[in-house]
Amino acid sequence: MEACNCIEPQWPADELLMKYQYISDFFIALAYFSIPLELIYFVKKSAVFPYRWVLVQFGAFIVLCGATHLINLWTFSMHSKTVAIVMTTAKVLTAVVSCATALMLVHIIPDLLSVKTRELFLKNKAAELDREMGLIRTQEETGRHVRMLTHEIRSTLDRHTILKTTLVELGRTLALEECALWMPTRTGLELQLSYTLRQQNPVGYTVPIHLPVINQVFSSNRALKISPNSPVARMRPLAGKHMPGEVVAVRVPLLHLSNFQINDWPELSTKRYALMVLMLPSDSARQWHVHELELVEVVADQVAVALSHAAILEESMRARDLLMEQNIALDLARREAETAIRARNDFLAVMNHEMRTPMHAIIALSSLLQETELTPEQRLMVETILKSSHLLATLINDVLDLSRLEDGSLQLEIATFNLHSVFREVHNLIKPVASVKKLSVSLNLAADLPVQAVGDEKRLMQIVLNVVGNAVKFSKEGSISITAFVAKSESLRDFRSPEFYPVQSDNHFYLRVQVKDSGSGINPQDIPKLFTKFAQTQSLATRNSGGSGLGLAICKRFVNLMEGHIWIESEGPGKGCTAIFIVKLGFAERSNESKLPFVTKVQANHVQTNFPGLKVLVMDDNGVSRSVTKGLLVHLGCDVTTVSSIDEFLHVISQEHEVVFMDVCMPGIDGYELAARIHEKFTKRHERPVLVALTGNIDKMTKENCMRVGMDGVILKPVSVDKMRSVLSELLEHRVLFEAM
C-alpha cells in the first residue's frame, strides 16, 4: 500500500505527457458532466418518450465515467489511500453500470428499430393521405367545374346555344387558347369546322372523317392528346409563336340528329360523333393534367345528354305544332262537314217537300183517275203512272233514310208489335207481285218465334220487304222461301264478323230471317258490292231489273242499328241466292218499354169507303197541292173548305169543321204556332177539330213538334185515294194518327 501512495519522479518528457493527460481528463470529465444535464433537459421536455429510465441509467453511466476521469486527476501526483479507494469504487460502479447498460441496449434496440419502422410507415401513410386529399380536392374542383359547366350548358335547350356555351365555358375554366367543334357533313364523309371559341364566323374547313387521328379519337371514350400539327388542330395561324400548346381531342356523341341541320348536317339514323378539339396557350410550359382531361370527358358526355334532350324537345315541339295544325285542319274540316251536312239536310228538306208536293198531285190524281171508267189501255197507263210514282216515292224515302243514317240523326222507334203480323203482311204484299212472274212464295215461322216483340216494326218490315223484293226481282221462275226463327246461342258463336258481337240475355233474343230464291245467283266476289250505296254488280247491272242500288245499303245500316248482321250466300250464277240477317229484338212480356202514343199503321178491316157530309178544312200555300187534297176529299164525299193563309184560316175555322189538314212546313208560316192558337181558341176538346199535319217532311223533329203543340196526327205526302180513305177512317175512330217515319 505504501508503494501505491508514492509516485516515482518522471522524466521531463514524461512530465509533459502527464500534463496533457491531466488536461484531457479534465475536459473529458467536464464533457461527461455536461451530457447528463442535457439528458435531464431532454427527459423533462419530452412528454412521450417511452424509455426515460434507460436515459436515467445511461446518464448515471456517463456521470460515473466522468467521475472516474475527474478522480483520476488526483492520481497524477502524490495521493492518499482514500483517493485510491474512491478511484477503485468509481471504476467498479462504472463497470457495473456500463455492463448493465450494454445488456439493456441489446433488448431496447429492436424495439427502437420497430418504432422507427412504424414511424416510417406512418410517414408513408401520411404522404399517401396527402396525395389522396389532393386528389379529392382536385375531384371536388373538377366536380364544381362540371356542375358549373353542366348548369350553363343545360340552361337552354337550343342546340346551337348549347354548343357555343360549351366552348365558352371550357375556354374560361381551363384557360384555353382555342376550342373548336367539328361536325359531320350531310354525306358523313367529312368533318366541318362549325364552332370555334375565338372566331365568330368559322370559315367551314373540312377534313376527311377517316383520318387516322380522327379514327383513334372516335374509337375511344377518353380525351386523347393529339399532335398540334394534326389537320383538326390547325385552327388558327401560329405566326410569331415558336411552340404550340398541347392539344387534346374528345368525341361528342350526336344523339337524335333528326332535322338538326346546320351547314348541311345529316339526318343520322345511326350513332355518329362530333369532334371537340382543345388547345392550351402557345409558348407556355403548361401541360394537361389528369383531372383536366377527366373534366373534358365529363363535359363531352354532358353535351351529348343536353343535345339529346334538346332533340327530344324539338321533336315534341314539332309534334305539338303538327298536332295543332292537324287539330286546326280537323276543326276546319269538322266545321266544313257540319256546314255541308246542314246544307245537305236543308237541301234534302227543301227537295223532299218540293218533290213530294208534285208527287202528291201525281199519285192523288192518278188514284182518282183509276176509280173512273177507263178502257183497258187507259187503265194500264194509269197503273203504270201509279207504280212509277210509288217507285219514285220509295226512292225519295230511301235517300232520306240514308241521309239520316249517315249523319246519325235516325233513331229506332222502339215499341211492342206483332212480329208474326209483320211477316204475314210482307207475304201478302209480295204474293201478288210474285204470282205475276209465276213464283211461289212460302212463309215458315218457327214454333218458338214470339208473337209479340219489342223493336222498330217499320224498319224491320222495310228490311224484310226489301230483301224479299230483291228475291222476286231477280228470280224469273221457281220459288222463294221466307224462314224466321230464334237464333240459338250455338249458331251465334259461328259468326266471326268484326261488326257483330252477339250478347245473350234474358230480356232479348236474336231473330234470324232467311230468304232463299231460285234466281240467277251472283258471283261470290261481287257479294260485298251489294251493300255499297249507289253500286250494282256487273251481273245485276246487265239485267233489266231497275233499282237504285240503295236498298241493301240501307238494310245493312238498319240491321247494324238493331245490333245485327246481314249477309248473302251464293254458289255462283244460276244457282240462286240466300239472304240472311239477324237482328236483336226484346221480349214483350219482359220489357219495360211502353208503347208510343200513336198508331203505326192503319187497320184496313174497318175502313169506311165514303164520308158524306164530313166537314174538312185544308190549309196549304201550294195551289196544286191544295186542289189535289180537296179533290181526294171531295171524291170521298167530304165537304171541303180550302185556305192559303193564316188570317184566312183563323177567320174560316169553326166548330163545324171536324178535321183540319194543314201543311206545317210552309215558308213564312209557323204551322206550330197556328196549332197552338187553335188550342187557345177551342179550349174544350169536343169543340176542337182534329188537327192533322199533311206535310212532305216527317222527320223526328217534325213529329215531336207536332205532338208538342197538341196536334192529333201527322201524314206524309204523297197521299192516294186509298190512303186518304184509311186516314179519315182511323181519325174518326181513334182521333189520333201519327204515321211512322
Model confidence at 409, pLDDT cuts 50, 70, 90, reads low
- Angle 81-153/159-174 helices, nearest 10 degrees? 160
- Average pLDDT rounded to a whole number, residues 112-139: 75
Residue 215 CA to residue 183 CA, distance in Å, equals 14
Q: Over 60: is that where the pLDDT of 598 sits?
A: no
Query: Domain range holding 281?
Result: 157-235+243-257+269-316
Q: Looking at the structure, do residues 249 and 161 belong to the same domain, yes or no?
A: yes
Q: How do beta strands 272-279 and 247-254 pair?
A: antiparallel
Q: What is the CATH number of the domain that holds 445?
A: 3.30.565.10
Q: Looking at the structure, do residues 566 and 644 belong to the same domain, yes or no?
A: no
Q: Looking at the structure, do residues 511 and 571 belong to the same domain, yes or no?
A: yes
**Does some domain include residue 22?**
no
User: What rounded mean pLDDT belongs to the chain?
Assistant: 76
For the chain, the maximum distance between any two Cα atoms, rounded to a whole number of angstroms, is: 204
Q: What is the CATH number of the domain that holds 710?
A: 3.40.50.2300
Residue 312 CA to residue 256 CA, distance in Å, equals 8
**Does some domain include residue 346?**
no
**Does some domain include residue 697?**
yes
Q: Looking at the structure, do residues 224 and 294 belong to the same domain, yes or no?
A: yes
Taking the CA atoms of 121, 123, 126 and 130 in sequence, report the sign of the dihedral they define.
negative
**Does some domain include residue 329?**
no
**Does some domain include residue 309?**
yes
Q: What is the distance between the terminal CA atoms of the chain, rounded to a whole angstrom?
A: 168
The total of structural domains in the chain comes to 3
Answer whether 665's CB lies under 8 Å from 671's CB.
yes
Q: Over 90: is that where the pLDDT of 557 sits?
A: no
Range among 15-29, 213-227, 652-666 with highest mean pLDDT value: 213-227
Looking at per-residue pLDDT, the higher value among 634 and 95 belongs to: 634
- Average pLDDT rounded to a whole number, residues 440-451: 91
Q: Looking at the structure, do residues 480 and 518 belong to the same domain, yes or no?
A: yes
69 annotated as ligand-binding = yes
* Helix (H/G/I), strand (E/B), else coil: 480: strand
552 annotated as ligand-binding = yes
Answer whether 71's CB lies under 8 Å from 87's CB.
yes
CB within 8 A of 507, min separation 6: which ones? 586, 587, 590, 591
Q: Looking at the structure, do residues 419 and 473 belong to the same domain, yes or no?
A: yes
706 annotated as ligand-binding = no
Whether residue 718 has a cis bond before it, omega within 30° of 0: yes
* Helix (H/G/I), strand (E/B), else coil: 67: helix
Q: Looking at the structure, do residues 585 and 619 belong to the same domain, yes or no?
A: no
Q: Which of 81-90, 180-189, 446-455 has the lowest mean pLDDT?
A: 81-90
472 annotated as ligand-binding = yes
Q: Over 90: is that where the pLDDT of 444 sits?
A: yes
In the chain, the amino acid numbered 195 is Y
DSSP element (H, E) containing 694: strand 690-695
Q: Give 563: exposed, middle or buried? Use CB within 10 Å, 0-12, 13-18, 19+.
A: middle
| 334-345 confidence digits (pLDDT tens) | 888 888 877 877
Q: Looking at the structure, do residues 419 and 559 belong to the same domain, yes or no?
A: yes
Task: State the pLDDT at residue 265.
Answer: 47
Nearest 5°: the CA angle 489, 494, 500 is: 85
**Does some domain include residue 479?**
yes
- Average pLDDT rounded to a whole number, residues 644-673: 82
Answer whether 738's CB lies under 8 Å from 716's CB.
no
179 annotated as ligand-binding = no
517 annotated as ligand-binding = yes
Task: State the pLDDT at residue 236.
Answer: 63
CA distances from 502 to 411, 412, 511, 584, 586 (A): 20, 19, 12, 9, 14
